[in-house]
Structures are given as C-alpha cells and as structure tokens.
Amino acid sequence: MSHHPDPQSQPTPALSADATSASTGHLRRALGVPSLVFFGLVYMVPLTVFTTYGIVTEITGGRVPLAYVITLVAMVFTARSYAKMSAALPFAGSAYTYTQKTFGAGVGFAAGWALLLDYLFLPMINYLVIGLYLSAALPMIPAWVFVLTAIVLVTVLNIIGIVSVARANIVIIAAQGIFIVTFAVLSAVTLSGSGTVDLAAPFTGDGSVDGFGAVMAGAAILCLSFLGFDAVSTLSEEAKDPTTSVPRAIVIATVTGGLIYIVLSLIAQLVYPSNAFADPESGSLDVMAAAGGQFLTIFFTAAYVAGACGSALTSQASVSRILYAMGRDGVLPRGFFGRLSKRFLTPVWATITVGVVSLLALAVDLTFISEMVSFGALMAFSAVNLAVIKHYFIDGGRRGARAVLSFIVLPGIGFGLTVWLWTSLSPRTLLIGLAWLAIGIAYLAVVTRGFRRPTPSLDLSE
C-alpha cells in the first residue's frame, strides 16, 4: 500500500471554483518542521513495509532488513538532493518542477511523463492488496470480486465528490500506530518464549537465495516505500521558512521512515524466520499469525485494508486531477480530460479513465505493479540528483572543494545508487517503462508539430 494523497492540504476531489481561484494566489505559510515531518511520515505510511514483505523476502532469501538498509542509504543521498532543490526552488511540483526548471521543458516533459506512469499505477497497488487480504479473510469470495468492487466504489465516490478524507486519514494513521505498538509487543512476548533468537539471520539470509544481486533486486522494489519523503517538498508554499524547514523535514522524514521500515521488517523476520508463505503476495498474514495469532491477523487486516481504501481514494483523486489539469492545458485532449461535471464539479472522464486503467489490477501481480511504481520513482530520484549538479555547479558557478563535495560528489553518489537500483529491476519492468517513455516522446513530437512548437508544461502539483 502506498499512500498518495493530494499534497495540498489533503485531498478534496471536487474542484470547486474557490479551490481553482485559490490555487492561483498564495498559500498560507503556517507549517513548521515537526508538521512537515509528520506529513511526510503520514504520506509514507508505516505499514507500507508489509505491502511487498512476502515477495521481497522470497527475492532476497530472507534479507528484507538488509535490503531496506541499502534502499535507505540511497534515499538519504537522494533526500539531500531534494532538500537542496526545494531550497533553490520553493514551489509546489517537486521532481517535475526541479527537472523542468533546471534542464528545460523537453527533459522536464520526459520526467513528468515517467512520473505519470508512477501515479497511474499507485491506485492499482491499493486495489490489489484490498483484494488479496479480504480474500484471505473470506476465502469463499474470489479476490477479483473485492478488487472490482473497490475500483467501482472508489471511482463513484471520486466522481460525486467527497468533501475531504483528511479526518478519516488521521483515524487510519492512528489505528496503524496502535497496530504497530501491538505488533511489536506481541512479537517480543512470542520471541521471549522461543528460546534462542538469531539476530543476524535477517541480514545473512536463510540460505534459499545467494548473492548480493538478489538483495539489490529487493532493494529496488522497496523504493516505493519511500515515495512520501518527496511529498514534503510539495508543501514549500505553505511552510513558514521553506528554504530551511522543508530541506530539514525532507531528510528527517526519510531517515525516520527508513528506520521504522528496518525495525518492523527485522521484527517480522525474527518472529517468522521463513519464506514458506501460504501466498507470498499476502505473506504478512503468516507473520501476524506467528506473532499474535488470529487476533493480530484480524487487527492487521482491518487496519491495512482501511489504509488501502483511504489511499485508493486519495491516489485516484490526485491522478484524476493531474489528467484534468493536462486536459485543461491542452497537453491531453481538452474535450475529454479537461472537462468538469456540471453537477458534481469533478473531472468525471479523467476519474473514469483512472478507474479503467486500474482494472489492470485484475490481470497483473503485486511484484509487477510494485516494480512499475519503483521504476517511476527511481526515474524521478535520478533526475533530481542530476538537477543539483546542473543548478548549483554548472549554472550557479559554485566552485571550491566544499562546492565539489556538496554539488557534485554527494548528488553524484545519489545518482549512481538510484541508477544501480533502477537497473536491478526486472527486464520486463525496464522494457515496459522505457516503452512508456518512448510513447511520451512520440506524443510530444505530435503535440509540438515535430518539436517546432513550444513544449507544453505538465501540471503535476497534485
């Protein structure tokens, strides 16, 4: 599950006239570092660690915590680059804005197009896990029934327009916090009565898979867990002192979230030191049963599915509004995507399009969807690392040993690590992702009449 709410003051799918006019003015600067860090952590969702737990355990041979350590190291360098760019360009829009303003409209469009694939796949993760876990709880009903029901229900809710799910999100996050404490306590009780515990096992593996390449493949998938940290940068226009508070909050949220993931995956592998899952895609249920029996399994399913439903609502609302903005600006067909419902004041056709695309969740597996989301994220992360070098060192003329370290070496390491993770994804994912990029470039050639007209901007601020 990847929580992807609308970054601007929580999602409000109905596009009212007030909201539209407000977006052209100035947002109120009221957020300090603690609020920004909390926003980033809420956006990342601590229980995301259990979304891909089973499949990454199989891929890495029981070394999920080690894979998370590698991902966190790469994300720390990348988070620092986001921090530098948010200080230089304190505007909403994040990676796309940084790339566009640093490398120009053409490269910016390519980065934005890659991110669009990421956003389109995000609702699918939520629909798929809703189906997996509800089907595990009610095995007499096929998973596809839950997936289809969730897609239809969320699409309808987004069309008619929910006022806000901000309060529901707070309740969902609170429930997940209570669950994490319960999981940790029950796991400690279980481990205390199990005799000797091998603390090194989650880092050395169970022997089922050898080699470091397997750990890198797992680490590449785990990148989707860190999608939230860059969301902090979208609040630059609402932060009290965006050039200092936003950069600090980005790094703090990244490190804190990464440590939470490492600890939770470590506890999970200690309490269930095996990769023999009933179903790897819902492997977390085996962990819950080992840690706290039926009670913890039911508690986890309820908290997790509730979080996935809230995340599905917000992620579909966000990507629908991105498609609407692109239609309104003429990047996509205006007559189809750039229209609001007169009755509900919501982008009906854009919302239905996302719902139709989400039907892919009925045909593909969790590993593929997770890798596609990580593909888009790693493309964005790589672009932002390069943007630091271009903006500060090449364009800004920063020189000296300190500038070389800060604006070439550190972002260069971040770029190298993200490319390493990116190339660790499966060949199938790389092929589809690169094909999507090729389609974007071809589409841009058509829109710009063979690159003779100016490249259009993408509104990815949602």
399-414 tens-digit pLDDT: 888 889 989 999 999 9
Position 162 scores a pLDDT of 60
User: Phi/psi at 412 (nearest 5 deg)?
Assistant: -65, -40
Q: Which two tokens stand for residue 414?
A: 């971040």
Q: Which helix (H) or strand (E) holds 116?
A: helix 105-137
Position 209 scores a pLDDT of 84
Position 21 scores a pLDDT of 38
Position 174 scores a pLDDT of 82
Position 27 scores a pLDDT of 47
Q: Which helix (H) or strand (E) holds 250?
A: helix 242-271
Hey, how many other C-beta atoms are within 10 angstroms of the C-beta on 436?
Answer: 17
User: How far is C-alpha 378 from the chain's CA centre?
Assistant: 11
Residue 461 · residue 8 · CB < 8 Å: yes
Q: How far apart are CA 246 and CA 212, in angstroms?
A: 35
Q: How far apart are CA 401 and CA 403, in angstroms?
A: 5
Q: How far apart are CA 380 and CA 119, in angstroms?
A: 12
Comparing CA positions, the residue from 357, 356, 348 lying closest to residue 324 is 348
Position 143 scores a pLDDT of 92
Position 188 scores a pLDDT of 92
Q: How far apart are CA 65 and CA 85, in angstroms?
A: 30
Q: Does domain 28-447 have CATH number 3.50.50.60?
A: no
DSSP 455: P
Q: Which two tokens stand for residue 129?
A: 């896990």
> Domain spans of the chain?
28-447
DSSP 209: S
* Residue ranges, the chain, pLDDT below 50: 3-27
DSSP 457: P
Q: Which helix (H) or strand (E) holds 106?
A: helix 105-137
Position 168 scores a pLDDT of 66
Position 208 scores a pLDDT of 83
Q: How far apart are CA 194 and CA 187, in angstroms?
A: 11
Position 218 scores a pLDDT of 92
Upper half-sphere CA count for residue 401 (Cβ side, 13 Å): 0
Q: How far apart are CA 426 and CA 410, in angstroms?
A: 27
Position 328 scores a pLDDT of 79
Position 132 scores a pLDDT of 92
Burial letters 61-100, b for 16+ CB under 10 A, else e: bbbbbbbbbbbbebbbbbbbbbbbbbbbbbebbbbbbbbb
Q: Which two tokens stand for residue 250?
A: 């980005």
Residue 317 · residue 3 · CB < 8 Å: no
